[in-house]
Amino acid sequence: MKFTEGYWLRNERANGLFAAEVYSVEKIPGGMRVLAPCGSVPGRGATLNLGTITLEFRALGDRTVSVKAWHYEAYDGHQPSFEKNETFTDAVITESENEAVMDTGLLKVVVNKKPFGYRFEADGKVLTSCGFRNLGLMRWDRKPVPMHADAKYLCEEYEPYMLNELSLSVGECVYGFGERFSAFVKNGQSIDTWNEDGGTSSQIAYKSIPFYMTNRGYGVFVDSTDNVSYEVASEKVENVGFSVPGEKLSYYFFYGPSHKEILKNYTGLTGRPALPPAWSFGLWLSTSFTTNYDEATTSSFIDGMLERDIPLSVFHFDCFWMPAFHWCDFEWDKECFPDIKGTIRRYHEKGLKICCWINPYVAQGNDFFREGAEKGYLLKRADGRGIWQTDNWQAGMGVVDFTNPDAVRWYQDKLRTVLDAGVDCFKTDFGERIPVDVSYYDGSDPYAMHNYYTFLYNKAVFELLKEVKGEKEAVLFARSATAGGQQFPVHWGGDCFASYPSMAETIRGGLSFAMSGFSFWSHDISGFENTATPDLYKRWAAFGLLSTHSRLHGSGSYRVPWLFDDEACDVVRFFTKLKCRLMPYLYSKSVEAHEEGTPVMRPMVFEYQDDPACTYLDRQYMLGDSLLVAPVLREDSVAEYYLPEGTWTHLISGEVKEGGRWYRESYDYFSLPLFVKENSLIATGAVSDKPDYDYADGVTVTYYQPKEGEKAVCRIPDTAGNIVNTITAELKDGKVVVTAGKPLKNATVTVVEGSERRNIEYGLV
């Protein structure tokens, strides 16, 4: 939120109280408390009629600091709180005449007393700082109350916002804030973390995360479920400013210096992602949104994929598995599916998992709605006139109140009947259209609940799946998210268009999402709205099948490949089978994501933080730490991509290229820039018709472009996420040595040096 008019002037509606100097410093468990008056205090008399800002700095390990600031200590905004794994640790506090310092051993907070300011330091360098008029309370539309008896000493009237601004250095770029489809580098943008259903072609986001990090090695998480408003080098071009409604502000500062270390600490605080089941990495096929279908139609899709030898892992029933005007009472449309248990059993026999679309809204006119309204399980109107209802989306629909534990059980029990029919997982759509003129069961502020609602919604569904299907089998396909939602994978990018610009913005959204602590992500191959050309369909299929999760889904038309052209079937088959063979590598990176919070799909700057060519790069990405993917984004088949320093090998063709430069080349539909980084050890599987199999049996381990004296490591998981073998390779004195922790079954070990490829024997540790 902008509070100034240019650099010198403040908005006339903003009346600020800013921390001006430090009056006292107090040691507290894990850190220090600082009292900062909002004006000069030359003597004791000056302490009267003077507001203060209080700060607390506390250590959570040696790389993370909690910062809390407030104007009124007892202010209660009735906000829900993000779930956090918070444990304070000891820090060394020292104080001099001019400064107070909190030292975690790696990270320092240095508070300047006169004038007020503080900075974060590591490795002898200043990371960022807060100084003159950078911290305070903004009293928006303030109406002072006169101090006399007739005024009855009422509370001062204004809208409170706490504001903090942190400095940016020259060349510093800011990333994150959730799945945002605007420019990947967020400098110059005004960002409100307010979830909305706005598609992928605007500044609006389905997944707003109040977290960012920069290429200077630190991250910042603002701990507020309300709308956190950011001015990212926009209102003041030398700062990132963030403001929250209310009289209190809380944030966490994470030092890396690597992006991986930052996300490790951030997800350690807000929750690591569950490991999705291996079968979920295969191809998903949907009925699409507004299309007509019944069992004959869906069976024709499934059989058509089998007949064309296109591996299919999941079949998804979108909205109209329920009758019109019944979303969501979770009752199957009996005219279209008279024997749904039999239908699902037959699909299971074909080796498929089944997904069903749901959302947290309940249309009126059915028993499920009436029961929810009667028992108080739906959100109530703020004016007390019954249940909040709208015709926007479903006629007279209400919204489930997930702050009511009984409502959660009621909703889960109804979903349980869907699972009893044989359904394996849910697509948790929506969760952004959450009203604010409502009252919640637990009394939460409805504005602060707007974003947090999606956390409670997805958590309720995910916990049910863990209970019924088992912890290793639980998986969602979710659209909305907030901080902590990474614990309930997978998420997809929402409503994109069938166009190359929309494909590019989808990539940007995924990259920003990855820089926001989320590890597993998908998108609608070929676009949701409109119908793609055969050219776009095939290009997007390659991109989609080189994402962690892959789904064919659309709005008004089916997305089976034979409706586009014959070659589309060949392309989808080729990349689906390639992904299945890559599963030993992909699933090992997924286990890493589960253990450390590292995204599987990684922006180039995530892996190459010090390469200035990667700073703004948003049309390609790393899949894990070893594979570089650059989707073709032009109708003329030309790809423009950058290879960082080193020797790179094309995974499909074997072509070798030197990095540190840009390339522009043409690719057919069965290829794209897909390169392996030098000194990489990649495990590929022996199975190409499904994603879940014994990855160790018949594995091919390929050592790409060995470098003298540098080790390469590859971990092979099983489908439960256990690491069953670790393989190490090294070029030592000109000789390649490959060792395995356990004997490899039917394995092939290959070394690629230059354009030469040869098989070698391996030893045992």
Residue where the block lists tokens 């959204």? 509
The structure tokens listed for 551 are 């789904």
Alpha-carbon separation of residue 175 from 218, 264, 391, 629 (angstroms): 11, 16, 38, 20
Closest listed residue to residue 113, CA positions, set 97, 125, 128, 102? 97
Among the listed residues 179, 223, 429, 607, the single catalytic one is: 429
The structure tokens listed for 709 are 């004296």
HSE-up (13 A, CA, CB side) for residue 174: 30
DSSP run (H or E) holding 57: strand 52-59
Distance CA 476, CA 276 (A): 9
Distance CA 86, CA 136 (A): 26
Distance CA 258, CA 272 (A): 18
Q: What is the DSSP letter of 236?
A: S
**Beta pairing, strands 380-381 & 438-439:** antiparallel
The structure tokens listed for 641 are 């991509």
Q: What is the DSSP letter of 361?
A: E
- Please say if 156 is a catalytic residue: no
Distance CA 147, CA 154 (A): 9
Closest listed residue to residue 503, CA positions, set 638, 643, 674, 634? 634
> For helices 534-544 and 566-581, what crossing angle results, to 10°?
10
What's the 3-state SS for 373-385? HHHCCECEECCCC
Distance CA 201, CA 274 (A): 30
Q: What is the DSSP letter of 147?
A: S
Q: Please, where are the H alpha helices in 474-548?
A: 500-514, 534-544
Phi, psi of 130, deg, nearest 5 = -125, 125
The 3-state DSSP class for residue 414 equals: helix
Closest listed residue to residue 642, CA positions, set 664, 609, 668? 664
Contact 431, 204 (CB under 8 A): no
* Residue 309 Cα to chain centre, angstroms: 33
Q: What is the DSSP letter of 387?
A: B
Q: Please, where are the H alpha helices in 515-564?
A: 534-544
Residue where the block lists tokens 């309720």? 460
Contact 433, 484 (CB under 8 A): no
- Please say if 157 is a catalytic residue: no
Residue where the block lists tokens 């449309």? 333
Among the listed residues 495, 524, 718, 730, the single catalytic one is: 495
Question: What percent helix, strand, coil does the chain show, rounded to 5?
Answer: 20, 30, 45
> Which residues have a Cβ under 8 Å from the Cβ of 722 and sit 6 or more positions away?
none
Distance CA 645, CA 651 (A): 17
Among the listed residues 223, 231, 401, 432, the single catalytic one is: 432
The 3-state DSSP class for residue 491 equals: strand
Distance CA 463, CA 595 (A): 19
Residue where the block lists tokens 């004195």? 733
- Please say if 432 is a catalytic residue: yes
Contact 41, 23 (CB under 8 A): yes
Burial of 562 (0-12, 13-18, 19+ CB in 10 A): middle
Active site residues per annotation: 429, 432, 495
